[in-house]
Structure 1
Amino acid sequence: MKVKLVNVSKRIHGSPVLQNVSYEFDDSTIYGLTGSNGSGKTMLIRAIAGLLIPTSGEVIINGDVLHQKADFPERMGITIGNIVFPKDLTGFQNLVALSKINKVATIEQIKNAFKKVGLNEEDWNIKVSDYSLGMRQKLSIAQAIFEKPKLLLLDEPTNGLDEESTWILRNTLKEIAQAGSTVILASHDKEDIAYLSDEVIQIDGGKIVNIK
């Protein structure tokens, strides 16, 4: 999915959180966003996702300006912040419930998403109330990928994951990009950024200050 940012700015309570951000994101590519806390990484992801309406500028998704015809990109997967899942449902039941909204994912796609993040069948059938922090993070990633998104937005995707799970996820993200999706992730983990990113975008003060 092609994403174009044109002079995107956002002010919250009078303070700038994004300042004249212009950039183009292409298919089959992983973009790593770096920067300190409060630099604007998460705000940029939220703007691309349609969760943050720019004060000025445009977010253009496949040629259409966001918030004109549609408020959110189609075929988008996202994990950002602490996603709240109904705790009395199992991980599997949660994704089945979500699948009924868009009606595009099959049961096999749901199971495959669990496998791709390192959750086995025993894990699927545990209530979310009994999930560890790492399992909840995996469930968040699974909900982001189970409908095979063309645009995948991830904020600190390996938080709470052990080394084995981190590598499973990294390889999954590589596969998703190789299949044609645009992947944009924000991470403080230098190894995540180095291993995954085709392009690294450094953000500071709500501005793009460096591209590698």
Structure 2
Amino acid sequence: MTSTIIEVEGLTKKFGQKTVVHDANFKITRGEIFGLIGQNGAGKSTLLKMIGGLMYPTSGNIHFFDRAATDYASCFERMGLLIEHPGLYPQYTAYDNLKLLAISYGLKQYKQYISELLELVGLDASNKTKVKHYSMGMKQRLGIAIALLGSPDVLILDEPINGLDPQGIAEIRELILDLNKKGLTIVISSHILEELSKVASKYAILHKGEIIEVISKDDLLLRCEERIEVVVDDVSKALPVLEQELRMKQFKVIDTHTLHIYDTHMNNQQIVKLLASHDQYVRSITNHKTSLEQYFLERTEKVGGSLD
């Protein structure tokens, strides 16, 4: 069985002359928490709506379990969606909200199932409080329970922490991680990379409708990790010296002149002095420490431009 659960190829959405999503390409692997990061208005909700079957793409293809969505319409039944705001009945309790939907889904043995779902998301099935009196965090939890009602393979969450207080954010984060541990593949969007980094295992950066980078969590953290950047005449000659003399182990060769060193026991003065003693000229040496938000801003600023 393939590990790819969703594959997006050249996905594009236009509204009249305005292109909202342009030529999106990425794969989502079974069991991942796939983070879609982008500023407000970048096209995140539109992209998720196309993946979730709520909106037709202008062009491009979506494959689920190696089958084209156009030939496999029932695939959308295998996804649970919470996009923008949960559709709740404010005059009813959480249990009754789920009961109405369970009946509409044709579920017969739903009483125990609903109680288990509410317990899973941290709500009490016996609570008679009407949803209109719920906090935003409780409404988000109920929205996730509704998205889980059909026992989906994929859960799609659009900005689930937007507007929540710190406690609410932490609770939703723990819920997402717990659902993922149970084997659920999750696609989650946010405009806050720092928060998304606490749950996601892979990221796609969306900027003005375009996917500008798809990167794993390990690679992202490596790029943001504190490092010494050394620019020399010839990395192939400098590298053996640093490995043998300073026991350098954590590094990455960027090109024939540039080396990134992650070993914390090394310092700039040691490196320059050692390389000079072996007739290796150091063109420059600098220390770098990039926050996740800085990385996101740097990537989007480099791209710039706009879609028409």
Post-superposition CA distance 1:41-99 (Å, at most 9, x none): 11111110011111111111112322444176122111111233222221110101111
Does the CA contact (< 8 Å) of 1:116 and 1:168 recur in 2? no
What is the percent sequence identity of the aligned residues? 29
1:138-153 correspondence runs (5 A): 138-153=141-156
Among 45, 48, 58, the alignment partner of 1:45 is 48
Does the CA contact (< 8 Å) of 1:77 and 1:145 recur in 2? yes
Offset, 1:199: 0.4
Offset, 1:104: 7.7
1:1-212 correspondence runs (5 A): 2-70=5-73, 73-102=76-105, 103=107, 106-121=110-125, 124-212=127-215
Q: For 1:108 and 1:191, locate their aligned partners in 2 and report how far apart those are by CA, in whole Å.
A: 37
Q: Which residue of 1 aligns with 2:274?
A: none
Distance 1:26 1:39, change over 3 A: same
Does the CA contact (< 8 Å) of 1:50 and 1:67 recur in 2? no
Q: For 2:30 and 2:15, locate their aligned partners in 1 and report how far apart those are by CA, in whole Å.
A: 31
* Structure with greater contact order relative to length (CA < 8 Å, sep ≥ 6): 1
Offset, 1:174: 1.8
Does the CA contact (< 8 Å) of 1:49 and 1:72 recur in 2? no
Q: For 2:111 and 2:198, locate their aligned partners in 1 and report how far apart those are by CA, in whole Å.
A: 31
Q: For 1:178 and 1:132, locate their aligned partners in 2 and report how far apart those are by CA, in whole Å.
A: 26
Specify every segment of 5 or more residues in structure 1 that has no aligned partner in the other structure, as ranges. none
| SS of alignment partner, residue 74 of structure 1 | helix
Distance 1:26 1:68, change over 3 A: same
Post-superposition CA distance 1:76-125 (Å, at most 9, x none): 11111123322222111010111123328733332233233332345x42
| SS of alignment partner, residue 96 of structure 1 | helix
Distance 1:78 1:10, change over 3 A: same
TM-score scaled by structure 2? 0.63
Offset, 1:152: 0.5
Structure whose CA Rg is larger: 2
Q: Which shows bigger deviation, 158-167 or 185-194? A: 158-167
RMSD: 2.2
Specify every segment of 5 or more residues in structure 2 that has no aligned partner in the other structure, as ranges. 216-308
Q: For 2:41 and 2:169, locate their aligned partners in 1 and report how far apart those are by CA, in whole Å.
A: 24
Q: Which residue of 1 aligns with 2:235?
A: none
Does the CA contact (< 8 Å) of 1:137 and 1:160 recur in 2? no
Q: For 1:192 and 1:117, locate their aligned partners in 2 and report how far apart those are by CA, in whole Å.
A: 20
TM-score scaled by structure 1? 0.89
Q: For 1:140 and 1:27, locate their aligned partners in 2 and report how far apart those are by CA, in whole Å.
A: 23
Q: Which residue of 1 aligns with 2:228?
A: none
Q: For 1:168 and 1:83, locate their aligned partners in 2 and report how far apart those are by CA, in whole Å.
A: 17
